[in-house]
Amino acid sequence: MESDKQSTERQATILLVDDESINLSVFGQFLAPYYQVLVATSGQRALQLAGGAPKPDLILLDVMMPDMDGYQVIGQLKADPKTGDIPVIFVTALTSDLEEERGLSLGAVDYLYKPCHLSILLARIKTQLELKNARDWLKDQNAYLETEVQRRHQENEAVHLQLLQSEKLAAIGQLAAGIAHEINNPIGFVNSNLNTLDSYLRDVFCVVDASNAALDEKPLSEETLQSLRELKQAKQLEYLRNDIPELIAESMEGLTRVRDIIQDLKDFAHADKNEWELGDLHKGLDSTLNIIANELKYHCTVHKQYGEIPQIYCLSSQLNQVFMNLLINAAQSIETKGDIHIRTGRADQNVWVEISDSGKGIAPENLPRLFEPFFTTKPVGKGTGLGLSVSQNIVRKHGGKIEVTSQLGQGSRFRVWLPIRPPELGAAE
Amino acid sequence: MNQADIRILIVDDEPNVLKALTRLLKQYEPVTAISGEEALLLAEQHRFDLVISDYRMPGINGIDFLILFKRMQPDAVRIVLTGFADLEGAQHAINEAEVFRFINKPWSNLEIVNVVENGLAHKRMLLENRALADQVRAQQILLNEKEAIIKALEAEEPGITQVNWAQDGSIILDDEDLQ
């Protein structure tokens, strides 16, 4: 026993409660070598000690006591969350099954009869303490596991957001060539026009300078006048007068187009704008169409049939990502020339956005795997295989769903259903 | 090919690009088309010395247009002007359409003017080269005919092509002729 005592990291504390001091001293003396022993001669005192420090690991409680009996004491111990987890062993002279049953029903872990064999007492105490240690360990372990689960959940959430962002950037990367084309066109003609304007202005000022020189000449000779007329003719001043406003208007339009593309890209790529807000789905569809115009306009005709839909609470930048994935899929499924229809509408408390194409359709054996991450039938470099999986996650987060119907050789139809107000909006981040 | 009757065709699906290039090449009064299809129709009716085409266009793309155009007017200089071309497209352009130059958008005015002038000069040289070669061939034929006559005469009257004529038309006889 001596070695056991040494090996326990902390000496357990045992509270003895008995109104007879002779019992206390017998037990106390016997237990003292093994445990730290606290004693109380009344229920009140016992409650005080149980709530204080050091907190007892086990209470040996007499049942028959004046003022407050053992049943009352255990009742109060159990009622207090601070002391409720201390195991209690009743030690009593009452020998009746009924009493024992009552004691155990009140939360006692064991029941001993006086007088009792001290080594039995010690064994019972040891068992209870071991049990308590095991319980405490389990409780700690549970708490640890709970925080771990919480942490992993947060980590998961962060990785998910990162995935969304990566998928979006990957998609933009694949669009980069098209976007470059879309931007280089206006930059090309604006730049060219400015250079032309430069030479126009040199011609204009050449005529102005000649006119000024003529004005200084007194009297103005007919020859000077004639050469001035010829200069004006040669520099095509009348043509410039008409062409310059056109040149400027076209250039301004070009710059507006570049500005709009950049703005759409910015709106689209924005990661930090992850807030639930009232969003206009039609606006989102239009700006997404602008970004991917270059992937569509050469071989697809886009037909828009927007219905009357209210604004909905959503993460609009994430929904644009969904629309982009669906539109690009539609465009890529069309091999030569075809149509893409975008329809919207409302049904009850939901709105829907439908994107259908006249492309090659999806093989029936591929339909069940459509939303699997990394599943793709596209050639290398044309898709990450994450588009639909990410889209489905986004739509689910909105409390919606994606319906697919497809016919090989006829085309596919994707319909995104979204509640006007997502049910778990309060809980959503 | 005089400066005055040089004909240039520009093809791009973007009207503002067409206008900017028309301004730039005003002296040639270029003809424009907003698609490859329209440009092919124009090519059926008119001769062009040089054509500048965008690559990515709705309908047939610029390279496919140039391949068809090349069959109709093989002597015209072909130039591609593009905001983006993949390797495959570029290979196709060089191998099949035999383009003279590839110009990137956004372009520089100076570059376009230079390429157009060089292209036209190149074409002029090719044509001149061809004309000269034709001339050489024609003269060679003439030469061959004359040579055949001389040979026939020589066979009939040996030494007849070796006669020494004096300024006044008299025949100079060497001493050895008299022996």
Which of A192, A198, A258, A298 would you mutate first to test chain B, the one with the most B CBs within 10 A?
Answer: A192
* Dist CA B122 CA A28 (whole Å): 118
* Dist CA A179 CA B121 (whole Å): 36
Our CA-based measurement puts residue B122 at a distance from the nearest CA of chain A, in whole angstroms, of 25
Chain A residues with CB-CB distance to B104 below 8 A: 184
Residue among B16, B23, B61 whose CB faces A196 most closely: B23
Cβ pair A187:B105 closer than 8 A: yes
Chain A residues with CB-CB distance to B108 below 8 A: 191, 195
Enter the CATH code of domain A273-429. Answer: 3.30.565.10
* Dist CA B30 CA A380 (whole Å): 42
Residue among B58, B82, B107 whose CB faces A192 most closely: B107
* Dist CA A69 CA A61 (whole Å): 9
Query: What is the interface size between A and B, counted as CB pairs within 8 Å?
Result: 72
Domain ranges of chain A: 2-116, 273-429
Q: Residue A272 in contact with residue A242, Cβ under 8 Å?
A: no
Alpha-carbon dihedral A288, A289, A290, A291, rounded to 10 degrees? 50
Query: Which CATH architecture fits B8-128?
Result: 3-Layer(aba) Sandwich (3.40)
Of the listed ranges A142-156, A184-198, A294-308, A365-379, the one predicted with least confidence = A365-379
A187 touches chain B (CB under 8 A): yes
Percentage of residues in chain A having pLDDT higher than 70: 94
pLDDT of residue A428: 42
Residue whose C-alpha is closest to residue A402's, from A319, A317, A283: A319
pLDDT of residue A1: 44
Of the listed ranges A219-233, A355-369, B27-41, the one predicted with least confidence = A219-233
Cβ pair A188:B109 closer than 8 A: no
pLDDT digits (tens, 9 = 90+) for A5-55: 444 456 889 999 988 888 888 888 888 888 899 999 888 899 988 888 888
Our CA-based measurement puts residue A143 at a distance from the nearest CA of chain B, in whole angstroms, of 58
Q: Which superfamily does CATH assign the domain made up of A2-116 to?
A: Response regulator (3.40.50.2300)
Measure Cα distances from B50 to A53, A358, B29 in Å: 100, 39, 12
Beta carbons within 10 angstroms of residue A249's beta carbon = 11
Our CA-based measurement puts residue A294 at a distance from the nearest CA of chain B, in whole angstroms, of 9
Cβ pair B16:A177 closer than 8 A: no
Residue among A188, A196, A253 whose CB faces B106 most closely: A188
Q: Which ipTM did the prediction report?
A: 0.74
